[in-house]
Structure 1
Amino acid sequence: MTLPDPHSIAIVGGGFAGAVTALRLIASSTGRLDLTVVEPAARLGRGIAYATSEPDHVVNGLAGGFALHENQPERHFLDWLSAEAEAGRWAPPAGDIAQASPPRALYGAYLERELAEAVRRAGGRVRFTHRRDRVVDVDGHTLTLASGAALAAGRVVLATGLHRREPALAVGLLGHPAYVSDIFAADAFAGVEAAADVLLLGSGLSMLDAVVSLEKRGFRGRYTVVSRRGLLVAPRREVAPWPGTPQAGELPRDARSVLRWIRCERRAVAAAGATGRACRRCSASMRRRSGPGSPIASGPGWLAACCPIGTSPCTGARRPPTRSSPGRRPRAGCAIWPAPSPGSSRATPVCAPVCAPSCVPRAAARRFTSTPIGW
């Protein structure tokens, strides 16, 4: 039995996770490297998040927080954005470009360009292959592809990233012409413009993307937004960091101390009537000053888990036009799909259900809170 070349690495998935994995492998290696990315899409680095071509679908954050390179925390991407703006490929809003939210497609182009540059700089040391196929099975170091071919590699990296998954309540709608399952598809809303009512399943940033797309296509009907918590995206507000930020010598050094500090600060923020974003700001400041090995420096996951009270960014591009006609205001109600059971709340009749949850949503309960859009 011939063993695979130990210098060969197969990366399953070529979206953000796959592209960044390839970048890190090239940057951290000094010898020969044979990289193969298995990704059916024609362009790498796009995935679900950055494949949209709609310019008003912007990233879920500020440009200053989307750095790729550790040795250049912010400026590398910001300088690239400035060059794109000067070349006329993007019109950023007035002010600091680090506080802008660029289009998702633009960030996808940045990822694609950085990967191509890394391969070019590596020269003959790195052999890079983009195999347009899909992995259907993995057996040790051998990948079975949808085309029937087999691919052997010394190491295999699963970088499949986010997955689309239909919520349980939408299974009965799959294939129906009025159901929109992929809001980022180019023709997602081709037949929805004349609909009198649209039901949006989910009330986060993907819902905003769906509304923006509909508005740009001339939809003038009525929206009903349903979600488990009934919370809408709040506009981003600049606030000063919470004053309780520990100094350098006081930073927690273990996960339990971090969690204890976060919970204490959350209670203090709530008692003072301040916004949760202040707590996130001081936590981010604390992370920047922490040393290697600290649970604070390990990534943003701990902050998202311990402090989920910050608001999400909402740029002008994502804020749908204000409507003055009372007949076009959304209504509130309780929506149960596909049909209410005896004795339950009534169902809201709609013409076009639109699935706009975040990727890999949790299976929703039968009951939803319906919230009117307050624009």
Structure 2
Amino acid sequence: MAARSGAGRTVAVIGGGFSGTICAIHLLQHLRGDDRVVLIERERQLGRGVAFATAEPSHLLNVRAENMSAFPDEPLHLLRWLDRLPADERRQGAKAGAAGTFVQRGLYGRYVRDQLAAVLRAGRHADRLTILNDQATRLVRHGSRWHLATRNGRSLETDIAVLATGNFPPAPLPYAGCVDNPWQPEAVEEIDRDHPVLLLGSGLTMIDVVLRLVDRGFRSTVHVLSRRGLLPRTHAPAPVYADLLLDAEDRRSLVSLTRAVRREITRAEIAGFGWRSVIDALRPHSQLLWQELSPADRRRFVR
């Protein structure tokens, strides 16, 4: 497959989970009219990836729906989409409480797919998007362009390549009774409901596994081993904080940024807001803040 001739650029998005699908949507909306997008995904359904492929009703987003719009300039977009669902689906797929609305992760994957379908239904973008149900296997720079090869023998020349490959599955462990990938469909089904289980790690994946065990009638004891012994904390109400201030001096390093965020939390608390509202206010800026950090500061942040 060769890129279409003409003055426009070709952008290949490798990976069609949440990040790749949303990236393709925004590219179609903001690139020039003669540019085109190729979205490559080995699974048949787009917009899911590991995060939103789960069909478990108890697996909810860990971010309130008010902060999960696919479009930064329309923060209530997801809530409006939910409101258009039939009442039964909305009731089953979204749990509302004092801390906000939390959506089933599988339903959120459907929301992402619906946004791509809406872009294609609009007509003006349909002929600029090519979706390949395939797997990218090779990406090599040729002059000013990239040469991309796929598992099914396709060849594509592209001006820009976006890697949206998500999290790779963990390496298999050669131990009997050890589940190395908790996201496998059979991971929990093979566990004896009357035998104790040890979970390594106490983060959100641990919560998901425990919920799956409970939903399947697990009767024994779950032991959780963690380096720090900390559990995910529940959400609390977080009203919108619109007074966030971060200037160039605040953003010059990870240390100055950390101090600035603590300063903003103090300012917010004086005004009657909590730290959660400040963190939510950072969300639209997180990509820019990350790009501004030096490689050394990025490594420090991850460490």
Q: Give the alignment's TM-score, normalised by structure 1.
A: 0.64
Q: CA deviation at 1:145?
A: 1.3
Tell me: CA distance 1:297–1:59, structure 2 relative to 1, closer, same or farther (3 Å).
Answer: closer
Q: Which has the higher contact order (CA 8 A, sep 6+)?
A: 1
**Residue aligning to 1:151:** 156
Q: Are the aligned partners of 1:199 and 1:226 in contact in 2 as well (CA < 8 Å)?
A: yes
**Residue aligning to 2:166:** 161
Tell me: CA distance 1:87–1:265, structure 2 relative to 1, closer, same or farther (3 Å).
Answer: closer
Q: Are the aligned partners of 2:10 and 2:159 in contact in 1 as well (CA < 8 Å)?
A: yes
Percent identity at matched positions?
30
Tell me: CA distance 1:36–1:58, structure 2 relative to 1, closer, same or farther (3 Å).
Answer: same
Q: Are the aligned partners of 2:3 and 2:10 in contact in 1 as well (CA < 8 Å)?
A: no
TM alignment of 1:243-258, pairs within 5 A = 252-254=247-249, 255-256=251-252, 257-258=256-257
Deviations 1:2-50 (A, max 9, x none): 9874432221110111101101111102413432211111111101100
**Residue aligning to 1:299:** 286
In structure 2, the gaps of 5 or more residues are 291-301
Tell me: CA distance 1:128–1:252, structure 2 relative to 1, closer, same or farther (3 Å).
Answer: closer
Distance 2:153 2:184 in 1: 28
Q: Are the aligned partners of 1:134 and 1:145 in contact in 2 as well (CA < 8 Å)?
A: yes
Deviations 1:227-264 (A, max 9, x none): 221111222233689xxx9967x654431454333345
TM alignment of 1:106-121, pairs within 5 A = 106-121=107-122
- Letter of the structure 2 residue corresponding to residue 156 of structure 1: A
**Residue aligning to 1:280:** 276
Q: CA deviation at 1:302?
A: 5.5
User: Which structure would you say has the larger Rg?
Assistant: 1
Distance 1:231 1:302 in 2: 27
Tell me: CA distance 1:195–1:36, structure 2 relative to 1, closer, same or farther (3 Å).
Answer: farther
Q: CA deviation at 1:76?
A: 1.2
**Residue aligning to 2:229:** 230
Distance 1:42 1:251 in 2: 42
Distance 2:107 2:242 in 1: 37
Q: CA deviation at 1:105?
A: 0.5
Tell me: CA distance 1:240–1:67, structure 2 relative to 1, closer, same or farther (3 Å).
Answer: closer
Q: Are the aligned partners of 1:62 and 1:101 in contact in 2 as well (CA < 8 Å)?
A: yes
**Residue aligning to 1:131:** 132
Q: SS at 1:298's partner residue?
A: helix
Q: Are the aligned partners of 1:193 and 1:214 in contact in 2 as well (CA < 8 Å)?
A: no
The count of aligned residue pairs is 276
Q: Are the aligned partners of 1:63 and 1:100 in contact in 2 as well (CA < 8 Å)?
A: yes
Tell me: CA distance 1:280–1:300, structure 2 relative to 1, closer, same or farther (3 Å).
Answer: farther
Tell me: CA distance 1:4–1:67, structure 2 relative to 1, closer, same or farther (3 Å).
Answer: same
Q: CA deviation at 1:162?
A: 2.7
Tell me: CA distance 1:55–1:172, structure 2 relative to 1, closer, same or farther (3 Å).
Answer: same
Q: CA deviation at 1:301?
A: 8.3
Q: CA deviation at 1:212?
A: 0.4
Q: Are the aligned partners of 1:12 and 1:18 in contact in 2 as well (CA < 8 Å)?
A: yes
Q: Give the alignment's TM-score, normalised by structure 2.
A: 0.78
Q: Are the aligned partners of 1:57 and 1:209 in contact in 2 as well (CA < 8 Å)?
A: yes
Residue 36 (structure 2) aligned to one of 34, 38, 41:
34
Deviations 1:249-290 (A, max 9, x none): x65443145433334577x79xx9xxxx932323545x5xxx
Q: CA deviation at 1:94?
A: 4.9
Q: Are the aligned partners of 2:82 and 2:90 in contact in 1 as well (CA < 8 Å)?
A: no
User: What is the Cα-based RMSD across aligned positions, in Å?
Assistant: 3.3
- Letter of the structure 1 residue corresponding to residue 70 of structure 2: L
Distance 1:124 1:251 in 2: 36
Q: SS at 1:56's partner residue?
A: coil
Distance 2:243 2:154 in 1: 57
**Residue aligning to 1:50:** 52
**Residue aligning to 2:297:** none
Q: SS at 1:281's partner residue?
A: helix
Q: Are the aligned partners of 2:149 and 2:156 in contact in 1 as well (CA < 8 Å)?
A: yes
Distance 1:89 1:240 in 2: 23
Mapped pair 1:70 → 2:100: no
Distance 1:8 1:247 in 2: 39
- Letter of the structure 2 residue corresponding to residue 28 of structure 1: H
Mapped pair 1:188 → 2:175: no
Q: Are the aligned partners of 2:67 and 2:280 in contact in 1 as well (CA < 8 Å)?
A: no
